[in-house]
Amino acid sequence: MQLGDNIAPRLAFGQALVELGGRNEDVVVLDCDVGASTQTGLFGEAYPDRFYQMGIAEQNMVGAAAGMSTMGFTPWVSTFAVFLAKRAVDQIRVSIAYPKLNVKLNGAYGGIPTGKAGATHQSVEDIAVMRCMPHMTVICPGDPYETQQAVYAATDFVGPVYLRTVRCPVPVIFDEKHTFEIGRSYTLQEGSDVTIIATGMMTPKALDAARELEKEGVKARMIHMPTIKPMDEEVIVKASKETGHIITVENHSRLGGLGGAVAEVLTEHAPCHLTRLGFPDVFGESGDNEAIFSKFGVNTENIIAAAKAVCR
Amino acid sequence: MSRLSENEVQELKQTCRYVRKMIINTIADAQCGHTGGSLSEVEILVALYFHVMNIDPGNPDMPERDRFLLSKGHSSPGYYAVLANRGYFHEKELGSFDAMGSMLQGHPCMLKTPGVDMSTGSLGQGLSAGIGMALGRAKRGMDFNTYVLIGDGELQEGQNWEAAMYAGHNKTAGLVAIIDYNKVQLAATVPDTLNLEPLADKWTAFGWDVLECDGHDIAEVVETFEKAEEIAKTGPVVIIAHTIKGKGVSFMEGKFEWHGRPPNEEEREKALAEIDACGCEKGDA
């Protein structure tokens, strides 16, 4: 994996699981007939005796993972985010989060990129749902490299973790100099005029926007926030005080996700002007990913425009 | 298979009587709790905890122990009474049931209560977690059994049938489900709400071995568990235990009104007197 490569985080995720399986015999993977899509199939091929095909039955999969974790296994449960975080939300809540069991949840196909599957498969609420659940850690890696680091970090962490991966290729922006830690943010560009906070696959777009703004004379600070919960509040407060304007960018609804979480921090500790870029309160649709991002105002050009608007 | 001696049967019956009184007192003291379903599960729980299961109350996390999951988590007063009786914690804890700060939550919490193997309460989830334990057992090469007690109304939850399909398809060994078939749910009988019949045929169709028993005849319950243990060596087995909601207290028996209502002082005294006078020995479900 080289800087600038375009690699699907789902593939990076699948490869990381295989690597992990080689050195940790307690790692097991549970799949709901979507392993070929979410790439857990790679683990299934490498370690068939630790790969559990649960059929198209998310609720039972989540419960079975809870049971396995009580015996010292570290189950990675994987299916499309839209089904995992919503169809099986009560099972996650009662069978995993409440007893604080050591189960890792991979919400694959997070957000809009679903291979044109449309609204039924576009998970734009999963971060909000998972974020308000006690005992839950929520991670939204920024690129394929960080996705792999997050898989390892989540596995080492003891307790429930929701890890969101995406389907479409995303540019590699991190290399071995980057060390992912749960709960930490990463300032990828310094700036004093405005702060852009992005999570997940929106970070490479936000970084492009920040660099473009720099050329145009707008000094944008760019913060990558891969852990939505627990959130690095200190860096948000500091950015508010030092730049006065914050823009959040996410492949998720504007309600309750990164934008909502940042708004909560700002309101309590350091109010400032906040622009939330994310999906409006409507259902998505089929179509080309980039076209949909642009239609709903969540693309590089929208970030640039939003920054210019608040810096005028 | 070992037949219970008459002495053992009498001892278990005595324990059942004592547990029923603890249930009445726990719920009457707290003025909340699910009376009917706690009374219907007594013989099943006493058979498991006092005869069938390999457990050590002094070491509740013993790795090779048999596991138990109360999928019908609202019937926690019956569960707690049995755990207390078996020595997992002191009986006086029952007085704190449902109170703030108590180790005995309204629904079982594995982080708070010694002996509880899985947190439950949202119906339909126990069997799946039990499957996970059975899968873990196989992977670790162990040979304990996992027992999951499911309410009858609870079987209306679809997750049970996802779980049943999985265990049947995979011939999941070491897994014993028990249906507390008291035929009454929160606001009506089961047939009047959403009928489960033909219940045995449903489980058979899903690939399970099915046993049926009188869920209040302690000797028969124990014998059925012993048969189930044999079958569970090679695949999943379900025991349909025919029970009576509110068993042991005449004015509660078969009445949905006693699903979630606590007895007042007068009702408590009457119930305790009835249980003392016996009532619950005969397997007449």
Same domain for A206 and A119? no
Supply the pLDDT for residue B2.
Answer: 62
pLDDT at B280 over 90: no
Same domain for A225 and A150? no
Q: Does A92 touch chain B (CB under 8 A)?
A: no
Q: Does A52 touch chain B (CB under 8 A)?
A: yes
Residue A248 domain-assigned (yes or no): yes
Query: Which residues in chain B have their CB less than 8 angstroms from residue A28's CB?
Result: 139
Same domain for A10 and A61? yes
Residue A178 domain-assigned (yes or no): no
A64 to B128: CB separation less than 8 angstroms, yes or no: yes
Best of A71, A90, A158 to disrupt the B interface by mutation (most B CBs within 10 Å)? A71
- For chain B, give the mean pLDDT: 96
Residue A257 domain-assigned (yes or no): yes
Distance from CA of B266 to the nearest CA of A (A): 37
Which of the four pLDDT bands, split at 50, 70 and 90, describes residue B56? very high
| Chain segment B259-272, per-residue pLDDT in tens | 999 999 999 999 99
Same domain for A132 and A11? yes
Same domain for A225 and A139? no
Percentages helix, strand, coil for chain A (3-state, rounded to 5) are 45, 20, 35
Q: Does B129 touch chain A (CB under 8 A)?
A: yes
| Chain segment B66-106, per-residue pLDDT in tens | 999 999 999 999 999 999 999 999 999 999 999 999 999 99
Supply the pLDDT for residue A312.
Answer: 78
Residue type, B157: E
Same domain for A32 and A155? yes
In angstroms, the CA A64 to CA A77 distance is 10
| Chain segment A49-89, per-residue pLDDT in tens | 999 999 999 999 999 999 999 999 999 999 999 999 999 99
Domains of chain B: 6-277 (3.40.50.970)
B121 to A72: CB separation less than 8 angstroms, yes or no: no
Residue A180 domain-assigned (yes or no): no
Same domain for A219 and A107? no
| Chain segment B177-221, per-residue pLDDT in tens | 999 999 999 999 999 999 999 999 999 999 999 999 999 999 999
Last residue of a domain, one of A171, A197, A215: A171
B119 to A57: CB separation less than 8 angstroms, yes or no: no
Q: What is the mean pLDDT of residues B245-266?
A: 97
Chain A CA closest to residue B131: A64
Distance from CA of A71 to the nearest CA of B (A): 6
pLDDT at A232 over 60: yes
CATH of the domain at A75: 3.40.50.970
Chain B CA closest to residue A71: B136
> The tokens of A108 are what?
């694959």
Same domain for A19 and A149? yes
Q: What is the mean pLDDT of residues A206-227?
A: 98
Structural Rg of chain A based on CA atoms: 19
Last residue of a domain, one of A171, A199, A229: A171
Same domain for A212 and A141? no
Residue A176 domain-assigned (yes or no): no
Contact B206, B165 (CB under 8 A): yes
| Chain segment B127-169, per-residue pLDDT in tens | 999 999 999 999 999 999 999 999 999 999 999 999 999 999 9
Residue A179 domain-assigned (yes or no): no
Residue A158 domain-assigned (yes or no): yes
Count of the separate structural domains present in chain A: 2
Q: Nearest 5 degrees, angle CA B256-CA B259-CA B262?
A: 125
What percentage of residues in chain A have a pLDDT greater than 70? 100
Same domain for A55 and A149? yes
Same domain for A215 and A86? no
CATH of the domain at A204: 3.40.50.920
Residue A294 domain-assigned (yes or no): yes
Write down the H helix ranges in B116-246: 126-140, 159-170, 190-194, 199-205, 218-232
Last residue of a domain, one of A147, A171, A195: A171
Q: Closest Cα partner for A222 from A201, A239, A238?
A: A239
Residue A29's domain comprises 6-171
Same domain for A145 and A252? no
pLDDT at A301 over 70: yes
Supply the pLDDT for residue B20.
Answer: 98
Distance from CA of B94 to the nearest CA of A (A): 21
Chain B CA closest to residue A64: B132
Q: Supply φ then ψ for residue A213, to 5 degrees.
A: -60, -40
Q: What count of CB pairs under 8 Å joins A to B?
A: 104
| Chain segment A265-295, per-residue pLDDT in tens | 999 999 999 999 999 999 999 999 999 999 9
Supply the pLDDT for residue B3.
Answer: 80
Closest partner CB to B162 (pick from A60, A99, A100): A60
